[in-house]
């Protein structure tokens, strides 16, 4: 009898509880809790103890100093500005390159399309670190790629401007270039998804009514793909702004991005509250693009 009651309880309550509870508990303990600790840490006081923070006692319970420094100290403001600028420029270039590629993908034959789509996705699976590394080989002073660009430059400009090699490594240009390279698939895929759904009859109708091809593009195709553009743009912007690997390897060390600042505050300065405050500030900054993204993502899915 009791076994039957247990079975009924298990079917009705226990089983769903297990199914929901296990991943829920995992994420609460290993994701939410650490995150809340960081949020709490951002208003703690940095001390010389181990671990290096403290609340209460001789220190204030809530210490706003880290946040005050984030919004007043030039170091942090410059880092935020560099991050936003690099991520924004990378997003624009991803859009400029990704849009015609996504449009091209919708125009090739079906069998080609599957192969090309796989070629877009394949870099996702190969190591991110190694894709950044591949560009280090190309941008270096003695590389064939740099040599080729240098020759082209020297051919095009007056003799006085001639250079031995183009200084690409350790610049914001290098950061943006590698960001475009690594995040371009994030732009192409949502754009392709939204362009593929468009009704080709609309294009033909516009053509029949006498529109020129570029007018058809501007009046018919482009407006309908805005949700895909915004979704792809945010998918590039959000991870690019918090990027750590790319600026560390190819960026300019004297113009650090915000990810590097967080790492240095934590590791080298051992100032956990400051690192946490910068992290929280970065997240607050991310809220706006994330909301734009989910708004347009819902729109893009709704128009199916």
Which residue bears the tokens 């993204």? 293
Give me the least distance between CB of 262 and another protein, in Å please. 5
Integer Cα distance of 78 and 80 in angstroms: 5
- The answer to whether 89 and 96 have CB atoms below 8 angstroms apart is no
Kindly identify the residues of this chain, within the stretch 162-191, that bind another protein according to CB under 8 A.
181, 184
Assess 134 for contact with another protein (CB under 8 A): yes
Minimum CB distance to another protein, residue 77 (Å): 18
| Measured distance CA(277)–CA(64) in Å, rounded | 9
Minimum CB distance to another protein, residue 160 (Å): 28
* Dihedral pair phi/psi, residue 46, rounded to 5°: -70, 125
Written as six digits, the tokens of 290 are 């994330």
Question: Are 272 and 54 contacting, i.e. CB atoms less than 8 angstroms apart?
Answer: no
Instruction: Quote the CA–CA distance of 133 and 127 in Å, as a whole number.
Output: 10
Stretch that binds another protein, among 64-72, 152-160, 225-233, 275-283 (CB under 8 A): 275-283
Q: Which is nearer to another protein, 190 or 242 (CB)?
A: 242
How crowded is residue 180: how many other Cβ atoms within 10 Å of its Cβ?
A: 22
107 touching another protein, by CB under 8 A: yes
Binding mask 70-89 for another protein (x = CB under 8 A): --------------------
For residues 187 and 234, what is the distance between their CA atoms, to the nearest angstrom? 9
**Sole binder of another protein in the list 59, 69, 78, 131 (CB under 8 A):** 131
Site for another protein in 22-51 (CB under 8 A): 22-24, 26-28, 30-35, 37-38, 41, 51
SS3 for 100? helix
Shorter beta-carbon distance to another protein: residue 167 or 213: 213
Told to check if 214 binds another protein by CB under 8 A, we report no
How many CB atoms lie under 10 A from the CB of residue 27? 11
Nearer residue to another protein within complex by CB, 19 or 152: 19
Determine the interface stretch with another protein among 19-27, 62-70, 71-79, 156-164 (rule: CB under 8 A). Answer: 19-27
Compute the distance between CA of residue 180 and CA of residue 96 in angstroms, rounded to an integer.
10
Tell me if 56 contacts another protein by CB under 8 A.
Answer: no
- Nearest-approach distance from CB 266 to another protein, in angstroms: 6
Is the peptide bond prior to 300 cis by the omega test (within 30 degrees of 0)?
Answer: no
Q: How far apart are CA 130 and CA 147, in angstroms?
A: 22
Minimum CB distance to another protein, residue 193 (Å): 13
User: CA 282 to CA 264: how far, in whole Å?
Assistant: 15
Chosen residue from 19, 62, 152, 298 binding another protein by CB under 8 A: 19
Question: Least separation, in Å, of the C-beta of 59 and another protein?
Answer: 17
Distance CA 258, CA 272 (A): 15
Which one, 157 or 267, has the nearer CB to another protein? 267
Residue 279 engages another protein in binding (rule: CB under 8 A):
yes
> Is 239 one of the binding residues for another protein (CB under 8 A)?
yes
Measured CA distances, 239 to 214, 243, 244 (Å)? 33, 6, 10
With contacts defined by CB under 8 A, name the span among 55-63, 153-161, 225-233, 241-249 that binds another protein: 241-249
């Amino acid at each position: 009898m009791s076994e039957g009651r247990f079975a009924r309880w298990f079917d009705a309550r226990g089983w769903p509880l297990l199914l929901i509870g296990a991943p829920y508990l995992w994420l609460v303990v290993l994701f939410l809790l650490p995150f809340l600790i960081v949020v709490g840490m951002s208003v703690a006081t940095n001390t010389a103890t181990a671990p290096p923070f403290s609340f209460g006692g001789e220190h204030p319970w809530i210490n706003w100093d880290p946040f005050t420094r984030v919004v007043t100290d030039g170091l942090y403001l410059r880092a935020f500005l560099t991050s936003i600028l690099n991520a924004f420029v990378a997003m624009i270039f991803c859009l400029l390159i990704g849009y015609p590629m996504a449009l091209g993908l919708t125009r090739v034959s079906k069998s080609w399309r599957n192969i090309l789509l796989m070629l877009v996705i394949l870099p996702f699976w190969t190591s991110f670190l190694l894709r950044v590394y591949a560009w280090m080989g190309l941008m270096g002073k003695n590389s064939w790629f740099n040599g080729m660009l240098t020759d082209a430059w020297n051919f095009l400009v007056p003799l006085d401007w001639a250079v031995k090699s183009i200084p690409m490594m350790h610049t914001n240009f290098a950061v943006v270039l590698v960001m475009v390279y690594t995040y371009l698939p994030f732009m192409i895929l949502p754009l392709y998804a939204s362009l593929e759904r468009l009704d080709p009859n609309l294009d033909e109708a516009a053509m029949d009514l006498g529109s020129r091809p570029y007018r058809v593009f501007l009046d018919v195709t482009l407006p309908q793909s805005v949700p895909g553009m915004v979704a792809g743009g945010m998918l590039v912007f959000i991870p690019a702004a918090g990027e750590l690997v790319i600026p560390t390897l190819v960026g300019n060390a004297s113009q650090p991005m915000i990810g590097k600042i967080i790492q240095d505050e934590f590791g080298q300065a051992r100032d956990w509250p400051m690192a946490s405050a910068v992290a929280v500030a970065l997240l607050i900054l991310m809220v706006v693009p994330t909301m734009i993204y989910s708004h347009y993502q819902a729109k893009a899915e709704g128009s199916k």
